[in-house]
């Protein structure tokens, strides 16, 4: 029995010594997903028969409905911005409440909902931009109005399981396009 233990000990000692070498073990660098999107080239959406126009990224595809609600699709990102137009008919207060409620419906999954007021007196455009952080279904939303005739909401959705860290570069890219929409929005009288 002692002989078999000695043989086992010598064998383990030999394996231990032979497995040691002079090669230094270096940790692998941490990898980050680097999504690089092209700089946006914007064109006017004035060809629609709607009471408003704005600039839209050429990489996006605009699909319009007869009521001036539309989808702005980003096929390379599996993302869509849904625009919903409503005329103001003595119901501005209710439209504002609905616009805010739409953003705060994501409160259960959101880590943070940050709101940023938007005012463009020159174009008579007033509204609010919402940035929704966390694994919510929509990560950016806004509403804008001229406070007398027009009301427009927009919501960004991705056709994928919400994982905020993974889609953050795409969210930031499309959010930049949404801000551009707000800044270039013109109401037609």
pTM, two decimal places: 0.78
CA triplet 32, 38, 40: central angle to 5 degrees? 130
Assigned fold of 60-187? Protein Transport Mog1p; Chain A (3.40.1000)
pLDDT digits (tens, 9 = 90+) for 107-131: 677 888 899 999 999 999 999 999 9
Helices (H) and strands (E) in the chain, counts: 3, 11
Q: Grade residue 45 by pLDDT with cuts at 50, 70 and 90.
A: confident
Residue scoring higher pLDDT (52 or 17): 52
pLDDT category at 154 given cuts 50, 70, 90 is: very high
Nearest one of 86, 88, 82 to 70, comparing CA atoms:
82
Statement: residue 3 has pLDDT above 60? yes
Residues β-bridged to residue 62? 72
Residue spans of the domains in the chain: they are 60-187
Environment class of 145 (CB within 10 Å of its CB; exposed 0-12, middle 13-18, buried 19+): buried
pLDDT in tens, 159-170: 988 777 788 888
Average per-residue pLDDT for the chain: 86
Tell me if 77 sits within 8 A of 173, measured CB to CB: yes
First to last CA, the chain: 101
Q: In terms of Cα–Cα distance, which of 170, 138, 136, 167 is closest to 154? A: 138
Residue 47 pLDDT more than 90? no
pLDDT of residue 151: 96
Ramachandran category for residue 147: left, alpha or beta (phi over 0 → left; psi -120 to 50 → alpha): left
Which is more confidently placed, 102 or 2?
102
Q: Count CB atoms within 10 A of the CB of residue 88.
A: 17
Return d(Cα 38, Cα 15) in angstroms, integer: 55
Confidence band, pLDDT 50/70/90 cuts, at residue 21: low
């Amino acid at each position: 029995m002692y002989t078999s233990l000695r043989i086992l000990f010598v064998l383990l000692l030999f394996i231990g010594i032979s497995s040691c070498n002079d090669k230094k073990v270096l940790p692998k660098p941490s990898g980050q997903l680097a999504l690089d999107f092209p700089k946006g080239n914007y064109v006017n959406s004035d060809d629609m028969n709607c009471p408003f126009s704005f600039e839209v990224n050429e990489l996006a595809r605009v699909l319009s409905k007869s009521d001036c609600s539309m989808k702005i699709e980003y096929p390379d990102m599996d993302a869509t911005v849904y625009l919903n137009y409503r005329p103001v008919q003595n119901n501005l207060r209710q439209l504002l409440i609905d616009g805010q409620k739409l953003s705060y419906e994501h409160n259960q999954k959101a880590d943070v909902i940050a709101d940023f007021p938007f005012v463009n007196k020159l174009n008579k455009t007033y509204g609010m931009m919402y940035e929704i952080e966390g694994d919510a279904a929509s990560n950016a939303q806004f509403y804008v109005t001229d406070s007398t005739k027009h009301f427009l909401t927009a919501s960004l959705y991705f056709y994928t399981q919400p994982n905020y860290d993974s889609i953050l570069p795409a969210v930031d890219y499309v959010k930049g396009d949404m801000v551009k929409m707000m800044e270039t929005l013109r109401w037609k009288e």
